[in-house]
Amino acid sequence: MTNLNNKVAIVTGGASGIGLATVKAFLDKGAKVVIGDYNNEAGVRVEQELKKKYENVLFASVNVADEQSVENLVAETVKHFGQLDVIFNNAGTGIQKPTHELTDEDYKRVISINQDGVFYGIKYALREMLKTGGGSIINTSSILGSVGEPTSIPYAASKGAVNLITKSVALEYADRNIRVNAVAPGFIESGMVNKEALGDFYDGLVAKHPIGRLGKPEEIAHAVVFLAENDFVTGTTILVDGGYTAK
């Protein structure tokens, strides 16, 4: 088992939701954490709040759809903390729209963040991990990388790609002590996914989860910590979905 104490981790999309829950989980394990996020205002606010309790936390602005921005994020992490041991490629977006109404811009925006962003994170993390003799790369997939969902073509395509990117890179670097895994959440109660915002649609989402509720960001963070710590797990996508895909 890898002890995360004093390990250096990047979490993209780290200023809210699953990302923020994972930032806190890593910090509780003693890791040094860089919060990468596109929302500068939220990132600065979260950094200031966390620094009241944790010393080794840093916000760095990033647009994961831009390769240079991701390269800069990794470089800033190494400059500040000296190395990179774990990256959680979590930043993502989605769109729900009938397929015949999707624009090229709609499709490419989701792919650029959810799929290209994961590739860039992997690419530049690998370059640092190869220098230091290993590390852990964790990607955010989704239940919609395993099952279909109407009106979610770009999102489903990007998450299916994340699953196979994860397997392929895991095989390529397993003999160099770099593990690559993914976590696939069901619907998680955070941000705009709540009863107040969604009304009756919320009840329909809950009904799709045999466990009888939506997930919590902390439950996904717990799975991410497991993947970061367990040295014998690579090339897998862990479903944390309340039984959604068991049907």
Q: Which residues are catalytic?
A: 155
Q: State the virtual CA torsion across 15, 19, 25, 28 in degrees, nearest 10.
A: -30
The residues near 154 (Cβ < 8 Å, ≥ 6 apart) are 94, 95, 102, 106, 107, 109, 110, 111
Angle between helices 17-28 and 217-229 (to 10 degrees): 50
Residues 22 and 88 sit within 8 Å (Cβ to Cβ): yes
6, 113, 158, 241 alpha-carbon torsion, rounded to 10°: 50
d(CA 114, CA 134): 24
Strands annotated E in 160-230:
178-185
